[in-house]
Structure 1
């Protein structure tokens, strides 16, 4: 409770003077005033949406805690040993297109996840299901929550908008070493981002697709509300992948992906920047120092803010298959790709990025 601060005593010392002083009482700001707490009258549907996002945010830690708890029961050790052997030596699903479950991708939990922001999809052109595709997703954001909603679930209506095209959101190999979590990802159609995995998926032919979050760990360090700094200039691997597999390239720009978290200042030369770069060099990914909201307050926590995300799926760029494309061929396709990406930004920025503080920029 706030405590009052008394104004100076009236020189006269009279009762009237003291009453006048009490009229000028000012409360000292309580430390809790800095938090904007969620009211108790929040509708049940919104609480469900918040729980869905919170569940996804702690899924890695929760699944590993569950696995460690199961390991505490000796009766389960034989089954756990078989499971671990299967993970590390037998199961090749992460490199062969995962094992997507249409039912799991469409369950109500993911619908609530997408409604939280809300996340939505905007299609610019039909994509014939008679060829493979490589989708380049921008920006990476802090975690890529919009990429997950669009490509790993049916919450934004992927199959309805692009019938016959099977999406595979790609992630690091290390995620498939995590018990339980890996199986959840595989049932959502999430696969490894390795070259072997991409080739295995695309060579299946018509209707197969991979989604690569092009900026990767480096771009997450530039993810701030109102900005769109894309780490893409030197990223030619996904373009070469498309050419060698004869897959059309499709740029996807997610308006709002950078707006759902705030990040600590990490300009070059700062201690935060040095720490993040060293962490990336050692572990292969970075650790953005960010914050959002929490379940019970709106301004401090590790959950994303409720801010709209609209993934605009652009027009396909036709690619002619070539087993050994030259640097000139790759750069020519890259120029077309960047031009299309800029066209998407210029077309929709006044509708979906009204609070931008700068224009989109291609960096590194």
Structure 2
């Protein structure tokens, strides 16, 4: 490339030749391959010699975002009765490309043993702009769930409104997505015989507005409905935390913008985030998530009694226990999976 640039330098106007020559000479080494870094007007462009495997990973990450934001018609109640899981859809190679793009990893903490005869509710944090870690773990066959918990079926709660979108609705049902309604959640947690895991991103859309690189601010203190449903069905609660989840996107923010976003969120349910990621061929801006490792750590289950009509005192008691276990999980693992862990604190709103 440098040879061709030098041979045809007369074709370039002004200082363009010198600019390109300097930046093309700036070579950055890698264990797998060498990249030629290019930068123009502050935009960092992807090297031309990136391997096809990495290009496919980037494409998978972009398609994942588009699929679940642009989307039913068929069996409209399926989202409230466990969906209709397709092992074939969960095994698409596409999801492996997505996993390897970041990459995504699941880790089981000591004591994280699931009884095959019990149902479990995974309380997952943080939501991030999009919860890639818990999606890979529960909705695909590449996240490591079956390796650690082979005797359980898995589901993930998502916004009920998303099941009104064509195409993406059908895909979500095939992957184990279920609606975020009391009926839907109790259908899974109340299944006789156990052997089911339901994941829920408790902070939801409100928490996604807090998603910023290096910041772990979650929405949990007043959200107690999931604890009530676990008690009513005798399902065990499990704290789950995805380290690195908030580093995949930055977002535009500011006091006025935040007030507008909060008002709009209450109206349309979905968080109106303005994400800052990367593009297909440059790293400075775009809607594709950035490459950053995400490690999802599954904590130790919390023993829960079955109380058909739990009192507020019952709910508060186990909600407090869950918060304590979640903080404990964060503090025990941040030194393993976060940069500058001493400066990282878990803030609970």
Give TM-score scaled by structure 2 length.
0.86
Q: Measure how far apart 1:209 and its partner are.
A: 2.1
Is the Cα–Cα contact under 8 Å of residues 226 and 355 in structure 1 kept in the other structure? no
Q: Provide the secondary structure at the position in 2 that maps to 1:174.
A: helix
Aligned twin of 1:41: 49
Q: Provide the secondary structure at the position in 1 that maps to 2:118.
A: coil
Distance, in Å, in 1 between the alignment partners of 2:340 and 2:273 is 22
Is the Cα–Cα contact under 8 Å of residues 244 and 321 in structure 1 kept in the other structure? yes
Is the Cα–Cα contact under 8 Å of residues 254 and 311 in structure 1 kept in the other structure? yes
Aligned twin of 1:156: 143
Structure number with bigger Rg:
1
Aligned twin of 1:137: 124
Written as runs of structure 1 = structure 2, the 5 A alignment for 1:212-223 is 212-223=200-211
Aligned twin of 1:32: 40
Aligned twin of 1:211: 199
Is the Cα–Cα contact under 8 Å of residues 62 and 287 in structure 2 kept in the other structure? no
Matched, 1:239 2:223: no
Q: Give deviations 1:252-296, integer Å, cap 9, x for gaps.
A: 000011010011223xxx220121011112112221222110111
Distance 1:348 1:31, change over 3 A: closer
Q: Measure how far apart 1:217 and its partner are.
A: 1.1
Identify the match of residue 344 of structure 2 among 321, 344, 358. Answer: 358
Q: Measure how far apart 1:355 and its partner are.
A: 4.1
Is the Cα–Cα contact under 8 Å of residues 62 and 289 in structure 2 kept in the other structure? no
Distance, in Å, in 1 between the alignment partners of 2:130 and 2:55 is 22
Identify the match of residue 218 of structure 2 among 223, 230, 234. Answer: 230
Q: Measure how far apart 1:60 and its partner are.
A: 4.4
Is the Cα–Cα contact under 8 Å of residues 138 and 145 in structure 2 kept in the other structure? yes
Q: Which runs of 4 or more aligned residues in structure 1 lie more than 3 Å from their structure 2 counterparts after TM superposition?
A: 1-4, 355-358
Q: Give deviations 1:172-205, integer Å, cap 9, x for gaps.
A: 1111111111111100010101000011111113
Distance, in Å, in 1 between the alignment partners of 2:155 and 2:141 is 12
Q: Provide the secondary structure at the position in 2 that maps to 1:210.
A: strand
Aligned twin of 1:58: 66
Matched, 1:120 2:128: no
Q: Give deviations 1:287-333, integer Å, cap 9, x for gaps.
A: 12221101111111111000000000000001000011111111111
Distance 1:332 1:256, change over 3 A: same
Is the Cα–Cα contact under 8 Å of residues 215 and 231 in structure 1 kept in the other structure? yes
Q: Provide the secondary structure at the position in 2 that maps to 1:320.
A: coil
Distance, in Å, in 1 between the alignment partners of 2:274 and 2:185 is 31
Identify the match of residue 178 of structure 1 among 154, 162, 165. Answer: 165
Matched, 1:199 2:207: no
Q: CA RMSD in A?
A: 2.0
Distance, in Å, in 2 between the alignment partners of 1:248 and 1:108 is 32
Aligned twin of 2:294: 309
Q: Provide the secondary structure at the position in 1 that maps to 2:240.
A: strand
Matched, 1:290 2:290: no
Aligned twin of 2:18: none
Q: Measure how far apart 1:161 and its partner are.
A: 1.0
Aligned twin of 2:25: none
Q: Give deviations 1:65-89, integer Å, cap 9, x for gaps.
A: xxxxxxxxxxxxxxxxxx84xx3xx
Distance, in Å, in 1 between the alignment partners of 2:205 and 2:165 is 19
Q: Measure how far apart 1:31 and its partner are.
A: 9.3
Aligned twin of 1:146: 133
Aligned twin of 1:274: 259
Q: Measure how far apart 1:148 and its partner are.
A: 1.2
Distance, in Å, in 2 between the alignment partners of 1:133 and 1:318 is 10
Structure 1 unaligned regions, length at least 5: 5-29, 65-82
Matched, 1:321 2:295: no
Q: Measure how far apart 1:3 and its partner are.
A: 4.4
Aligned twin of 2:9: none
Give TM-score scaled by structure 1 length.
0.82
Distance, in Å, in 2 between the alignment partners of 1:60 and 1:200 is 24
